[in-house]
Structure 1
Amino acid sequence: MNLKISEVAKTVGLPISTIRYYEKIGIITDEYILREENNYRNYAFEIIQHLEVVRNCLAVGFSIHDIKSMISKKGISKDEQTRIIKDKIAEIESAQKKLEDSKQSLHEILDLEITCEDGFGKY
């Protein structure tokens, strides 16, 4: 079953412009693109799952560059996949720690009851 770009966009909930961009930068590889005689593009049905994986990767913090790198490897070992995921977990934990530290600093400022009524930085 071949799909038109509008059908792909509607099914995965992405704008057509995003699908074209993904194709241009290599997120959508040639294996998903089918050319008709008139040079119109159709897409293999498997593109739906591919784009859902891309969207899920973006949702958990992978960059487009990270995803493109993983796609270009044409498959990665279980060990490498585990390492990539653990690295992303560590990155998220580091961001959480920074946010928690910032939150704590703000609580400390509240506890000091500092006001800026006389101007910023004036007590």
Structure 2
Amino acid sequence: MKISEVAKSSDLPISTIRYYEQIGIITDEYVLRDQNNYRIYASDILQYLNTVKHCLAVGFSIQDIKSMISRNGMSKEEHVSLIQNKIAEIEAAQQKLDESKQSLHDILNSGISCEKGFGKY
């Protein structure tokens, strides 16, 4: 697959794909070179990039992802710990959002009226 096909199918800019190669997110196992030295990507690159995108979406940093994909970067226990820590961060954020939501419901239920000015009852 050519880089333009990968970009279109993965919904990533070509520059991002090249950047991922440059920093080691896309490893050599996904990139071959043809006789003209053009990049040819393995068919499973799309699933791989989808996984990378999901990791970024849930808050992992590029450095976290690099460490996770490095063969010698992390042990299984470190992977589990990193993921558990991310789950804890998400749960804390959810708790904070739930509290904010409840505060807004409390404001609505308090009978606040903007007719007399904000915050005046």
| Structure 2 gaps, min length 5 | none
After TM superposition, what 4+ stretches of structure 1 lie above 6 angstroms from structure 2?
none
Deviates further, 106-115 or 24-33 = 24-33
Alignment partner for residue 79 of structure 2, among 78, 81, 99?
Answer: 81
Alignment partner for residue 38 of structure 1, among 22, 36, 39?
Answer: 36
Aligned length: 121
- Where 2:114 maps in the other structure, the secondary structure is coil
Q: Hey, what's the Cα distance between the residues in 1 that align with 2:116 and 2:74?
A: 60
State the Cα RMSD in Å. Answer: 2.6
Deviates further, 82-91 or 20-29 = 20-29
Alpha-carbon offset, residue 95 of structure 1: 0.4
Q: Structure 1, residues 75-108: CA drift from partner, whole Å, max 9, x if none? A: 5322112111111110111001000110111111
| Structure 1 gaps, min length 5 | none
Alpha-carbon offset, residue 14 of structure 1: 3.2
Q: Evaluate the alpha carbon distance shift between residue 69 and residue 117 of structure 1 in structure 2; reply closer, same or farther with a 3 A threshold.
A: farther
Q: Give the equivalent residue in structure 2 for 1:51.
A: 49
Q: Is the 8 A contact 2:67 2:73 kept in 1?
A: no
Paired-residue identity, %: 69
Q: Give the equivalent residue in structure 1 for 2:92.
A: 94
Alignment partner for residue 23 of structure 1, among 21, 24, 30?
Answer: 21
Q: Tell me: higher relative CO, structure 1 or 2? Use CA pairs within 8 A at least 6 residues apart.
A: 1
Code of the residue aligned with 2:105 in structure 1: it is H
